[in-house]
Amino acid sequence: MPVLRPRRAVLEAGWMTDDPAEPSDPVQDTPMRDDTTPDMPAENIVHFNPWRDFNDAAPQIDVFGDEPDPEQIAQFMQVVFGYCDGLIPVRSFIDKGQGIDGRPHNIWLEVDQAAPEKMATFATWASREGAAVYVIPGTVAASGQAKATEIQQMQTVVVDLDTGDIAAKRAHLERHLGTPTMVVESGGVTPEGQRKCHVWWALTEPAEGDDIARVCRLRGDIAAKVGGDMHFRSAHQPIRVAGSVYYKNSLKTQVRIVELNAAHERDLAEFIEAVTDMSPAAGVSLQPEFSHPDKPAIDEVLITPVREGAQDDWSRFEGASAAIGHFIRMVHEGRMSKDEGWEGICGYNAAMLRPQWPVERLKRESERLWDRHVEKYGPPVIRLDSGTPGPVEMPTFTLGALLDDQSPMPEDIIAPRVLTPGGLLVLGGAPKVGKSDLLISWLVHMAAGAPFLGFTPPRPLRIFYLQAEIQYHYLRERLKQIALPPEVLAAARDTFVATPKLKMLLDNEGSVRVARAIQTAFPDEPPDILCVDPIRNLFDGGPDGGGENDNTAMMFFLKERIEVLRDHIDPDCGVILIHHTKKLSKQQVKDDPFLALSGASALRGFYTSGLILHRPDEEAAERKLEIELRNGPALPSKLIDKVGGQWVEINPMNERLVRQDVGAKHDAERDRKAEVICGLLYEEALQGRMYTMTHFAETFENTGGLGGQSIIRERLNVLTTKGYVKFVRGAAATALDLATERSKYGYLCVETMRLATSRERVDPGTGEVSPELIDVLPSHYKCPQTGAVLPVENPSVWVYREVEDA
């Protein structure tokens, strides 16, 4: 990390609010501002309380307390501001518990080589006044600026650990996020006796623009997962300066760096992935809590009337503020539109406040709290309003109108009725069964306007593939590996659009991101198909945070996320959802394969088409595609497999229907016996022995698990018909010095067979004597059509004649 760059700067002094609350106090939300007036002192550094400064003698060092450390201040400034430009907002005020008062004081330091020295000077002065020193860990453009929206650069991510088992939380962070750049003990001590601390990670470059919101969201996510201070979700949250002095509750100590790894920097995108993958620390719940323990629950507030004159447990102002805050939070998080939120506020005012507030006051208070909430928690999430008809617009039709309507049916998106306009198709399958491979091949064919496994598009379709499993490089590798016809790839180059692996939920914010991406990908016309792969990685169960097995959460995801997103894109857009299946017994799969879909039964009741991909036999390559339609006649299941890298449909007549397991075992046993027979023929020839069919059956009866003579002859008949075993007879047998045979077929022969003769061969290198071997070539074979013994056309070329099943 480079040193702070030299820039011209002076300490600029400015007064702030009289509010002495510290920045970590949750009730404080007042931004730093420059309130300098003409009658205030003009020097660069102004004492908090000049009335206490009657002595102009040199200040005395407190031998019982710590003093600011310029070296640590310089190290802190390098980590937090080393790459930044602009001004650093600095704040000091009297810590609580000292029995003295003082006005908060702000200065703005320009980021340059002199900044650490100026910060050390300011910290020394503040220490003598009994004041703490804070900075906002970001820079602004001008003196007097310090609001969240005015922060221009931030180059660190920080979490404040101030409660619970600090050591365990630090260990959890380091295990999941790696070694931090800096750890600062802030001076405080928990009731359990552990030192509170700030854990810092420096970024490889300053965050600017939209990335600042990502950094703040990241700070909030880390704090939520380890039980840290959630106030750091706001960009303008100040933090103590390492090397300064901590004063609180009669305790004076140094804010000190206890770990420094200045070379450890993190890429923002990679760090976001690491935080996303990090699990919550032990004992930390991510369930939101909307009520403070010493305040009434919001459900109670919304249904309890409040009268003026403090006649009730809380005042009208307290009740109205709590209710307004609740609806503001709902709007800010995207769970309500602004109109719905205002309607809720007005409804509470009319029903619960006795007498009710004037609308002007209600609006003024709502706007004040909204501005304060946005400043504290950042920009609101944009809500995608559903395009589905409301209660007033609900269409109805008489029986006669339905019977008389002779208009043509809508064109299928994927025929025959597999995906209809506005329909929802769910494709399920176990992990590694080939779902993604099948899906990509299918979608590319649809984007090219080409049929696939009997599924036909009316034209080339525009497809947006929203996937959250395969990273970019492996996605492009997979697309190149899938064997697709060149003409299909050429036709789908611009109509198939895919995302790399996404680290997000399909919540309100995620839905907005997806909608914008789709609009960018298809600016002229909306897509015909939106595919989400898989549900599990993008699932948002709603405000209650339910999972996939929760019917309510699943319905929330389908209606409030998928349906709303689709209606925002195009109500006629078809949606394909990819889902995992759970393990079922083979009998359960046979009875109802769609019970295998993971999650709630609500999913099956909601979709218009369901497809399940599974292996009927785990040891076989074939997959079976079960199909269930709501909008059309039933379709038979498809038996499919990959042949030459492409998915093809297999004739179901070739599939064994009954006693499949037993049949497979019998097939394997027959294959084993064939291998044993061919092996025996080959090995015996090396010993100088060849056999006719009858002689072989008699010789090797009950050998190697072959069974009796009749079973061996039966297997030999099959092997000779398929060409695995052929014959040597007549002149060819005489040439091998074999006795004249009386068999119909002659001697049995297998490929690459070699026969040991009575002649000897001496190895010139070792002098070893061994029988001379000669090649055995077939002279005749059995015709697979007639069973007749026919001469071989070319003995040097071995031909296998497979018999196709009828």
The H or E element that residue 247 is part of is: strand 245-248
Q: What is the reported pLDDT for 76?
A: 95
In a 13 Å sphere around the CA of 155, the CA atoms on its Cβ side amount to 26
**Closest to 615 in 3D by CA, of 583, 654, 659:** 583
Q: Is the pLDDT score of 448 beyond 80?
A: yes
Phi and psi at residue 445, to the nearest 5°: -60, -40
Q: Is the pLDDT score of 508 beyond 70?
A: yes
Lowest mean pLDDT among 212-221, 388-397, 404-413: 388-397
Q: Is the pLDDT score of 752 beyond 80?
A: yes
How far from each other are the two terminal CA atoms of the chain, in whole angstroms?
75
**Closest to 413 in 3D by CA, of 402, 405, 424, 403:** 424
d(CA 463, CA 725): 54
Q: Is the pLDDT score of 52 beyond 50?
A: no
Q: What is the reported pLDDT for 390?
A: 42
Most confident of 37-41, 535-539, 799-803: 535-539
Please tell me the chain's helix, strand, coil percentages from 3-state DSSP, rounded to the nearest 5: 35, 20, 45
Q: What is the reported pLDDT for 265?
A: 93
From the DSSP assignment, how many helices (H) and strands (E) are in the chain?
23, 29
pTM over 0.75: no
Q: Are the CB atoms for 581 and 424 separated by under 8 Å?
A: no
Q: What is the reported pLDDT for 727?
A: 93
pLDDT in tens, 249-298: 667 888 999 999 999 999 998 898 888 888 888 877 654 343 334 455 66
Most confident of 66-80, 351-365, 787-801: 66-80
Q: Are the CB atoms for 111 and 64 separated by under 8 Å?
A: no
Over residues 497-509, the mean pLDDT reads 86
pLDDT band at residue 766 under the 50/70/90 scheme: confident
Q: Is the pLDDT score of 562 beyond 80?
A: yes
Q: Is the pLDDT score of 436 beyond 90?
A: no
Per-chain mean pLDDT for the chain: 80
pLDDT in tens, 622-674: 888 989 998 888 888 888 888 878 888 887 665 555 456 666 677 778 888 88
Q: Both tokens of residue 336? A: 């309500």
Q: Is the pLDDT score of 55 beyond 60?
A: no
- Cα 350 to Cα 5, 308, 345, 736: the distances in Å are 59, 14, 9, 112
Q: Both tokens of residue 396? A: 């109805």
Over residues 168-191, the mean pLDDT reads 91
Over residues 673-692, the mean pLDDT reads 91
pLDDT band at residue 387 under the 50/70/90 scheme: very low
Phi and psi at residue 646, to the nearest 5°: -120, 145
Q: Both tokens of residue 587? A: 């009998």
In the chain, the amino acid numbered 305 is P
pLDDT band at residue 159 under the 50/70/90 scheme: very high
Which positions ≥6 away from 789 have C-beta within 8 Å? 727, 729, 744, 745, 780, 781, 782, 783
Phi and psi at residue 28, to the nearest 5°: -85, 135
Instruction: Pick the more confident residue, 454 or 667.
Output: 454
Q: Are the CB atoms for 500 and 475 separated by under 8 Å?
A: yes
SS3 388: coil
Over residues 18-37, the mean pLDDT reads 38
Q: What is the reported pLDDT for 656?
A: 55
Q: What is the reported pLDDT for 496?
A: 95
Q: Is the pLDDT score of 11 beyond 50?
A: no
Q: Are the CB atoms for 536 and 579 separated by under 8 Å?
A: yes
Q: Is the pLDDT score of 300 beyond 80?
A: no
Which positions ≥6 away from 684 have C-beta within 8 Å? 690, 691
d(CA 169, CA 187): 17
Beta bridge partners of 609: 425, 629
